[in-house]
Amino acid sequence: MTAVPVSDVAAHRRAILVLLCGFSALAIAFGIRATFGLFLNPISADLGWSIGTLSFAFALQNLLWGVAQPFAGALADSKGATKVVAGGLLLYAAGLVMMAWSDSLLLFDASTGLIIGMAQSAVGFPVILGAIGRATPPERRSLYLGIATAGGSFGQFIFAPIGQQLISSLGWIDALIAMAAIAVAATLLAVGLRGEREAKAEFVDRLRTSADDGMRIREALAVAARHRGFLLLNAGFFVCGFQLAFITVHLPAFATLCGLAAAAGSTGIALIGVANIFGTVAAGQIGSIYRPKFPLSLIYFGRSLGAVAMVTIPVTEAVLYGFSIVMGLLWLSTVPLTSSVVSQIFGPKHVGMLFGIVFLSHQLGSFAGVWLAGYLFDVFGSYDLVWWLSAALGLFAALVHLPIDDRRIALRVASA
């Protein structure tokens, strides 16, 4: 039996540590974010601001998150994820405190939209998945990315009932302060991401191809801008953002509108989270077996069917929970697959920045999904039109992924 080199054992241990810390950081960052929809009705009732007005702040948050994401990804690519993630969590906490103390719409928009949005970019998927991808051997990367992505879903599962309980027992202001304290404590997790820098030298040589050898940021951006598949990924991820942000923020209000208890909305959000733990891990595994663009297409088609069901079937608790479980299986499953396609085409060197650009498109969709849903609700008193729009966009995304040329750039050039 051949002994495993000590250096390989140490490298794999570092990769696991980076994975565990990245998983936990994503769980906390996305878990807190998943509770924001629970605050809509209490804040609206307490301060007298409409659902549409509050929705704009959360839409602005998604937009700023997307705008800042390529910069956060590029900074993490060059300087490492540790400082970026730690700084992002501290900024997250500051934004939550300001959100709790907001006594004007301007301050609420600045804290909820600007500050928290920028903070989320530093603790988002491109930064953390980029670190995990660089620290992980290629034969395990897709699986590890799927596990890490499940961290966001796990946080959603854990924090949705916690958030509801905090609001019920402490009120929405103190609940936000408690979330801020959790974000501060989570900065310790950033220390574990230092293994990314130590492992990078060992694994990058095995991951690189002539497509990214020596390629600088400007060159990578130029190549990506001319790559049709990259543009199609951006279009598809816009739809992903629209669907997820709409459901995350407005599902609790939608449940109440259907005559269900307020707890049904938080339970639905939690079920989405727990189902997606399995969905993202499975997606990561599937992405290592099949070309990721094909399961991506199926995921978007499945979401369209779920959206149609919500306007054609009377919504009871059982229907809402069934929808949440199905949608959960398809929820963040797009993330490891989309990240894998980006890395597969361009290589790992600039994956944080390039996936950050794709994620910007996701957040533009998130802005549209959150704000438009709130606006249309104020106008029509119903979410039906938004569900139909979500279904149509899902079908569009299912189609645009099929023609993506996902071969590594160097191989495509050689064959040409």
pLDDT value for 212: 47
Number of residues that make up the chain: 416
Helix axes 334-346, 228-257, angle to 10 degrees: 170
Q: What is the mean pLDDT of residues 55-66?
A: 86
Distance CA 249, CA 272 (A): 13
Average pLDDT, the chain: 83
Q: What is the pLDDT of residues 212-266, one digit of tens each?
A: 445 676 777 777 777 888 899 899 999 999 999 899 888 888 998 888 887 888 8
Distance CA 343, CA 138 (A): 11
Considering the domain boundaries, does residue 57 fall inside one?
yes
* Domain containing residue 275: CATH number: 1.20.1250.20
84 CB-side CA count, 13 A: 31
Distance CA 134, CA 65 (A): 23
Nearest to 40 by CA among 248, 273, 326, 270: 248
Number of domains composing the chain:
1
Considering the domain boundaries, does residue 184 fall inside one?
yes
CA distances from 127 to 71, 180, 354 (A): 10, 21, 11
pLDDT value for 6: 43
Q: What is the mean pLDDT of residues 37-63?
A: 87
Q: Band the pLDDT of 3: cuts 50, 70, 90.
A: very low
Please name the residues in contact with 193: beta carbons below 8 A apart, sequence gap of 6 or more: 18, 21, 22, 25, 80, 81, 82, 85, 128, 131
The answer on pLDDT for 416 being more than 50 is no
**What three-state secondary structure class fits 254?**
helix
pLDDT value for 25: 93
The answer on pLDDT for 412 being more than 50 is no
User: If you write DSSP's letter for every residue of 117-186 in order, what string do you get?
Assistant: HHHHHHTSHHHHHHHHHHHS-HHHHHHHHHHHHHHHHHHHHHHHHHHHHHHHHH-HHHHHHHHHHHHHHG
Considering the domain boundaries, does residue 410 fall inside one?
yes
Considering the domain boundaries, does residue 2 fall inside one?
no
The answer on pLDDT for 111 being more than 90 is yes
The answer on pLDDT for 166 being more than 90 is yes
The residue that leads in pLDDT, 140 or 182, is 182
364 CB-side CA count, 13 A: 12
Q: Which domain holds residue 41?
A: 11-415
Distance CA 264, CA 318 (A): 10
Distance CA 240, CA 304 (A): 11
CA angle 178–183–187, rounded 5-degree value: 145
Q: What is the mean pLDDT of residues 345-350?
A: 71
Considering the domain boundaries, does residue 5 fall inside one?
no
Considering the domain boundaries, does residue 6 fall inside one?
no
Considering the domain boundaries, does residue 227 fall inside one?
yes
Write phi, then psi, for 242 (nearest 5 degrees): -60, -50
The answer on pLDDT for 314 being more than 80 is yes
Q: What is the pLDDT of residues 177-217, one digit of tens each?
A: 999 999 999 999 988 887 665 555 454 444 444 444 456 76
Q: Band the pLDDT of 4: cuts 50, 70, 90.
A: very low
Distance CA 70, CA 83 (A): 16
pLDDT value for 206: 47
Q: Which of 165-179, 235-249, 277-291, 324-338 has the lowest mean pLDDT?
A: 277-291
Max mean pLDDT among 7-21, 27-41, 332-346 falls in 27-41
